[in-house]
Structures are given as C-alpha cells and as structure tokens.
Structure 1
C-alpha cells in the first residue's frame, strides 16, 4: 500500500475514534442545558478568551526564539510569530502527516538555512512545553483543597519522561551513533547536526531555563482561556488554582494521537476532571468544545498568512512530504 493510502486509513481510523468518543459523551448530556449555556454566553468573556489565545501564541513564538538563539540560529520574533500561526492552522485544518510541526521545521529551516537546527528547536520547544504544563499542575496541587487521585503522580511521570527525552537530545549520544552509521552519509550528517546543536544548547542553560519559564506562562494563558469561557457560561465552581491543576491534564489528553485534533479525548478529560469540582458533564463538554472552536477560529489567521505569503512554499512542502 502506498504511503498516501496508509495515511488515509490512519485519518479515517482517527476520525472514527473521535466520532465514537464524542457520541458516547453527548449521549449522556442534557442538550437543553447546552443550548441555554450557549444562548446566555457573555460575549465580553469570549472575546477575552480570544485575546488570551493570541497572547499564548506570542509567548510560544518568543520561547521558540529563545531556543533558536540558544542553538545559534538567528530568527526574528516577527517571522517565528507568523510561522507559529501557520503551524496552528495546519494542526487544526490539515490532520495528516503534514502537521503544524512539520510546517514549522520546513519553513523555519528554509528561513534559517539549517533544517536540522530548526528541527531540534521545535522538538526541544515541544518537550519544554510538556514540562511546563506538568510543572504548573504540580505547583497548583498543594494549594487546592480537592485532590484528584493520581494527578500529581501523573505530572511527575510526565516531567521525568520529558526530561529524559531532553537529556537524550542534549547529550553527545548522537555523536556516538553517527559512528555506527558511518556508511550512511545522510544519517551521519543528521546525527552530527543534532550533536552540534545539542552541544550549543547545553552551553546555554540560562536560555533553556528561561524557555521553561515561558512554557509555564504559556500554559497559564491556556488556563486563562478556559477561565474566560467558564465565566462566559457563568460557571464559577472552578477557581483559578483549581483550573491550573486540571487544565494541564486536559492538554495532555488532547495530545493522545487516537483521534482528530484531540476531539473526544479532550472532552472526556474535561468531563471527568471538572466533575471533581461540581461541574456537570454538559457544562464541561460545552467548555471543551468552545475552547477548541476558539482556537480553531483563531488559527484561520495563520491560514490567511499561509495562502497570502507562501504560495511557493506550500507546493514545495507537499512535494517534500510526498
């Protein structure tokens, strides 16, 4: 079977999983309550949610710039901001192998002239984002009266796993592996490049630490998007610290690659975790779906940037992925 055929089957299976999960969730909710929440939603709070999405993308672009700087790559914040928006658009509207990270690596690699360096920066940025959201959850856990079973252990496991991946990236392991693949020039060049950028990142611990702090700030912005939606629906049973505990866990659930763009898994996590704080299933799913819609609508700006400025890049990217 061709790669394109396998990709279509993969997307179909993910779509089926998302549909099944969503159908199972919505079967048990009261649609009248959903309609009432949406009908009475306060526009000012929804607009504030959009604003926090914009701020979160700016934060992400800035921490990515810090990682690029640590890796010796010169990137303007304005350019990374544009690339990040386009990556967000790809994540929401093109659920295939040509995802947002692939676009970011290709476009930033074309911009810097160093595909290996930009690829390393994207992976490191993703790893630090996972550490950041887990760290925010752990900070909030001791300050919340209602404890969710196993959630602290879950965050600790996420941090340890992410740090292990980060150590592998930053270690000289790639240099040792390059000797094993001495007969494969392309593989050797890739591993040597990873070692070069890993060495640079190791020497810039201050910038890496600052990137981690900005990762925590980014996750806090995601929390504020959700808090704004809760206020829009007049649901006040979840305080800010409680949201800092459970929203990072829902972000991890949305990363599980068994559905399309996190649909189904994210809603299930919202319903399960919000229930500990007295939020019913209908309210939790409404918040989750509106959160996803706000992010999706916001990402249309990235689509406009993509189709307006990068017509040539678009064809090259799809050709490279094929």
Structure 2
C-alpha cells in the first residue's frame, strides 16, 4: 500500500475539516477516501475509510456495554434501549455485508445500467470482505478504543469547566450514543443533534438542561477548532 504515516495523518485531518462543513459527521470521509484513492485504488480507499468508521463504532458500543453491565442499576432505560438497538443494527448489518451475497445483488440491480458505478461499488464490497489480517484489525480497533476514551474524558473535562457535577459513568454511556446519532446526514457536522442529545440524556440524570446543551456546543467548538488544521493542510496540498 502506497500510503505512509505522514499521508495518513494528513488525510485524517483533511477529513475532519470537511466533516465540519458538510452534512453529518461523515461528509469528510468521502473527501478522505478520494484523497486516499490517489495512492491506492478508489475501492480500497473507500473500504479503508469504512473499516475505520466500523472500528470506531464497535469501540463505542463495547465501552457502552461494559458500563451497562457493571452499572446497569443507575443507567436510564432510554440509554440502555438505544444502546441495544444500535448494537443489534450493527451486528445485523455486518452479518448482512460480510456473510451474504445480498449486497452484491442489490448493487447489480441498482446499477445495472451504469457499469462503471456497479464495478466501483462491487469493488468496495469485495475490498471490505478481503480484510483478513486480524493483527492489523486488532491494532486498528485498539487505536479506535483509545480515541473514543479520549473523546469521553474530553467531554468530562468540559463538563467540569461548566460546573457540571455528575458521575463519570454517565459520560461513558451518553457520549457514545450522541456520537452515533450525529452520523445521521441531517445537519452540518451534526450541529443541533449533538447538543439536543446531550441535553436530553444528561438532564435525565439531574444535570441542568442548559448546561448539558452548552457542553455539547463546546464539544462542537473544540472539534471545529481542531478541524481548521485539516483546512490548512488541504490548502497547502492543493
């Protein structure tokens, strides 16, 4: 693979920049895959971005389920049911994608008149199914796990700065749920969705609604500030 560590870091930050200005939190993934496609095949590039997202999602759900298993007695039922729903949806989607030929059949049906598009999407599915290096997948998962933990503790520090005093346990449940919801392509970078999710979930355990909303907004500002680095890299590379 013709992608070195320096390129990978650059493409990551470029992706975060476009995530900040495009609908949902995955708009930048398309740009990142496009950039990667200059080094490797487009199909492999999109497959790698998909696997990156998948590792992050699985890491989030693992954190959630460990916390629910240990602290289920104090976790709101809404959060528990949302976690179960996301986990089942992820598991079913993975089985559907990896263990069946249905995705290929759907692609062939939808793009039967567009041969190049059909070959492209089939190539992505095949590239995903060809991920067989378990050691590399495990390493990617561990990195994703640490990233998600840093994200959670970052929110906890923001909460302390706002004078919010509540158990760290809730952050290990509510933050992953919010991160999953902002993927929906409804608003730019999930603005409004994240803040509302924070407000609803944290207020359910006694945190002031306005402070919960403010924490979500501050989290957005931190992420947008970091994404500016990606914008600078994009300009320099263009």
Tell me: CA distance 1:77–1:172, structure 2 relative to 1, closer, same or farther (3 Å).
farther
Distance in 2 (alpha carbons) for counterparts of 1:176 and 1:88: 30
Question: Are residues 1:189 and 2:189 paired?
Answer: no
Distance in 1 (alpha carbons) for counterparts of 2:178 and 2:121: 34
Aligned structure 1 segments of 4 or more residues deviating by more than 4 angstroms: 178-184
Tell me: CA distance 1:115–1:153, structure 2 relative to 1, closer, same or farther (3 Å).
same
Aligned to 2:159: 230
User: Are 2:36 and 2:45, in contact at CA under 8 Å, matched by a contact in 1?
Assistant: yes
Distance in 2 (alpha carbons) for counterparts of 1:193 and 1:218: 29
User: Are 2:51 and 2:128, in contact at CA under 8 Å, matched by a contact in 1?
Assistant: no
Question: Are residues 1:287 and 2:182 paired?
Answer: no
Distance in 1 (alpha carbons) for counterparts of 2:45 and 2:22: 21
Question: Are residues 1:242 and 2:170 paired?
Answer: yes
In the superposition, the TM-score normalised over structure 2's length comes to 0.85
Aligned to 1:165: 93
Aligned to 1:109: 37
Give deviations 1:156-198, integer Å, cap 9, x for gaps.
2212222333334434627963877787542453255235423
User: Are 2:46 and 2:124, in contact at CA under 8 Å, matched by a contact in 1?
Assistant: no
In the superposition, the TM-score normalised over structure 1's length comes to 0.65
CA RMSD, Structure 1 to Structure 2 (Å): 2.7
Which ranges of structure 1 fall in alignment gaps of 5 or more residues?
1-72, 311-322
- Secondary structure of the residue aligned to 1:150 is helix
- Range with greater deviation from structure 2 (278-287 or 124-133): 124-133
Which ranges of structure 2 fall in alignment gaps of 5 or more residues?
none
Tell me: CA distance 1:173–1:191, structure 2 relative to 1, closer, same or farther (3 Å).
farther
Tell me: CA distance 1:150–1:235, structure 2 relative to 1, closer, same or farther (3 Å).
closer
Question: Are residues 1:200 and 2:127 paired?
Answer: no
Tell me: CA distance 1:79–1:299, structure 2 relative to 1, closer, same or farther (3 Å).
same
Give the drift of 1:221: 1.4
Aligned to 2:45: 118
User: Are 2:104 and 2:122, in contact at CA under 8 Å, matched by a contact in 1?
Assistant: no
Give the drift of 1:228: 1.2
Distance in 1 (alpha carbons) for counterparts of 2:23 and 2:182: 14
Give the drift of 1:231: 1.9
Number of matched residues?
Answer: 234
Tell me: CA distance 1:194–1:300, structure 2 relative to 1, closer, same or farther (3 Å).
closer
Give the drift of 1:284: 0.7
User: Are 1:251 and 1:266, in contact at CA under 8 Å, matched by a contact in 2?
Assistant: yes
Equivalence map 1:247-286=2 (5 Å): 247-286=175-214
Distance in 2 (alpha carbons) for counterparts of 1:269 and 1:81: 30
Q: Rg: which structure is higher?
A: 1
- Secondary structure of the residue aligned to 1:255 is coil
Tell me: CA distance 1:99–1:195, structure 2 relative to 1, closer, same or farther (3 Å).
closer
- Secondary structure of the residue aligned to 2:7 is helix
User: Are 1:137 and 1:248, in contact at CA under 8 Å, matched by a contact in 2?
Assistant: yes
Give the drift of 1:136: 1.1
Give the drift of 1:82: 0.8
User: Are 1:274 and 1:284, in contact at CA under 8 Å, matched by a contact in 2?
Assistant: yes
Equivalence map 1:1-322=2 (5 Å): 73-95=1-23, 99-112=27-40, 114-144=41-71, 145-171=73-99, 173=101, 177=105, 185-194=115-124, 196-201=126-131, 203-237=132-166, 239-310=167-238
